Amino acid sequence: MSTLFNMSHNATLLFWTLVTIVFLVVLISKYKWNPFVTLLISALLLGLLTGMQPLDVVSSITSGLGGTLGTIAIVIALGTMLGKMMAESGGAEKIATTLVDRFGETKVHWAMMVVGFIVGIPVFFEVGVILLIPIVFTVAKKTKMSLLQIGIPILAGLSTVHGLVPPHPAPMIAIDAYDADLGRTILYSLLIGFPTAIIAGPLFGRFIGKRIVLEPPAELAEQFAVKGSRKLPGFGITLFTILLPVLLMLIGSIADILDPEATHSFTLFCEFIGHEIMALLIAVVFSFFSLGFSRGFTKHEISKFTSECLAPIATIVLIIGAGGAFKQVLINSGVGGAIAELATGAHINVILFAWFVAALIRVATGSATVAMTTAAGIVAPVLALSPGVNVELVVLATGAGSIVLSHVNDAGFWMVKEFFNMTVPQTLKSWTVMETILSVVGLALILLVNAFF
């Protein structure tokens, strides 16, 4: 009798969850409501529909929002500052031009993928696109190659890092929700991310570039044309500055693997500097000197750069926080447990489940951030009841699902369309297909790695 009651209760919880998610999707995709407001309303609605006390719902929302943003908000702010210093100093341009010179014009599309991958580490996808579009136009003009053959590899590199590689917010959300190891996630993300970006970038870019011939918008081409001959920072110091937080995090993880009990003070020191907040803080302060004062910027200019870059990230920080609130209501209402029981009882592969949930929300809402935060709340309880699963690969599967099938409800879709001067059908054939290749190939490689580890 109690089993039947439990099944009925779980079914009711899942029904109201489905209603709430449909409500969330419709308001964002059809009526264009602000995702932050919609996520908060959805969290409140889910809590009340599942029988939670009103004040308990409010408490869950505030604790979930605060708990999620505790680390992520700092990571986003510091990462944005690092990206701003790279942009203002000309570091992104230096990396691009150096790699193009080293690879040569015939292999420039491979260089572009590497540029996107490297530059994408400290910046958001949209910021990376804005930073690198001038380089795409310049290289395409210089080499007489198709705009898409140059641009698709850069977009693939940026998007791969955005969805898979810490310390980007998307994978960091899942790392926190699943209690995954940061260093192992970075290693797996690089192992899986590079071949994924190669297939979706240079290989697909060469294919589609021959079939869709584009000219850059005249106004943008003029605006982004190189004016003057400003001196750029050195390639080595720029690359070191960008990769410094990743190197510090890897050092912390390696020290933890070699000395898991932290019996030596040196291990504690390595874990301290390898924490994502400390690693990014060290890198940002270092960038003030390596890309700031050494380039002739004054203290007032550096202060201005690091202040003005924070305003544009307010929206994404709030969306992530609201996603955390929704996740907490899922857990406190008992929905998470009901989903976990259903998934474990059906013996669902957790990696496939994580990818599918994130992909479904991504296609419906158009937001990788909403997909990642919502999916993390749904998948985490399932993961807790699935011993022996490679948690780090579940993080990557969630990230891969969150970038699938970008279409007309995604702001990134329209940004790419306008910058590359494409029609909607051309954008679907190039950008949307590229994102889907990234997601599906990423999932295939994750499953392959999971078979051996």
The lowest-confidence range among 48-57, 87-96, 269-278, 375-384 is: 87-96
Backbone φ, ψ for residue 385 (5° rounding) = -100, 15
Residue 98 near residue 232, CB atoms below 8 Å? no
Is the pLDDT at 221 greater than 60? The verdict is: no
User: What's the whole-number mean pLDDT along residues 90-116?
Assistant: 78
pLDDT at 288: 92
CA distance 27 to 395: 27
**Cα angle value 86/91/96 (rounded, 5°):** 125
**Average of pLDDT values for 157-185?**
85
Pairwise pLDDT comparison (20 vs 434), residue with the higher score = 434
What 149-152 contacts at long range (C-beta under 8 Å, 24+ apart), as own/partner pairs, is: 149/109, 149/205, 149/206, 149/208, 149/209, 149/210, 150/108, 150/109, 150/112, 150/205, 150/209, 151/112, 151/205, 151/420, 152/109, 152/200, 152/201, 152/204, 152/205, 152/208, 152/209, 152/430, 152/434
Torsion angle (degrees, nearest 10) of CA 302, 305, 226, 149? 120
Q: According to the model, what pLDDT value does residue 396 have?
A: 94
pLDDT tens profile 406-446: 876 666 777 778 778 888 788 888 999 999 999 999 999 99
For residues 169 and 316, the answer to whether their CB atoms sit within 8 Å is yes
- pLDDT given for residue 122 in this prediction: 63
Please report the pLDDT score of residue 366 as a whole number: 67
Which band of pLDDT confidence, cut at 50, 70 and 90, is reported for residue 226? very low
CA dist 333 and 431 (Å) reads: 39
Cα–Cα distance measured from residue 211 to residue 199, given in angstroms and rounded to the nearest whole number: 17
For residue 227, pLDDT over 50 is answered with no
CA distances 242 to 79, 87, 190, 279, 287, Å, are 10, 11, 15, 11, 8
Q: pLDDT value at position 345?
A: 61
Query: What is the chain's mean pLDDT, rounded?
Result: 81
- Taking residue 421's Cβ as centre, other Cβ atoms within 10 Å add up to 15
Distance CA 7, CA 220 (A): 59
The pLDDT of residue 253: 73
What pLDDT was estimated at residue 228? 46
pLDDT digits (tens, 9 = 90+) for 180-196: 888 888 889 999 999 99
- Predicted local confidence at residue 127, as pLDDT: 64
DSSP 407-436: -TT-HHHHHHHHHTT--HHHHIIIIIHHHH
Residue 179, Cβ density class (10 Å: 0-12 exposed, 13-18 middle, ≥19 buried): exposed
Question: What pLDDT shows up at residue 182?
Answer: 82
pLDDT in tens, 301-358: 888 888 887 876 777 778 778 877 887 887 788 776 676 566 556 667 889 989 988 8
Cα separation of 275 and 341, whole Å? 34
- Output the pTM of the full model: 0.70
Q: Does 294 have pLDDT greater than 50?
A: yes
Reported as a single tens digit per residue, the pLDDT across 246-289 is 788 778 878 877 777 777 888 889 889 888 788 889 989 999 99
In which element (H, E) is residue 52 found? none
User: Rounded distance, CA 20 to CA 29, Å?
Assistant: 14
Please indicate whether residue 84 or residue 293 has the higher confidence score (pLDDT).
293
The band of 198, judged by pLDDT with boundaries at 50, 70 and 90, is very high
Distance spanning both ends of the chain, measured CA to CA: 42
Assigned token pair, 132: 């690198």
Q: Which residues of 56-93 are buried (b: 16+ CB within 10 A; e: fewer)?
A: ebebbbeebbebbbebbbebbbbbbbbbbbbbbbbbbb
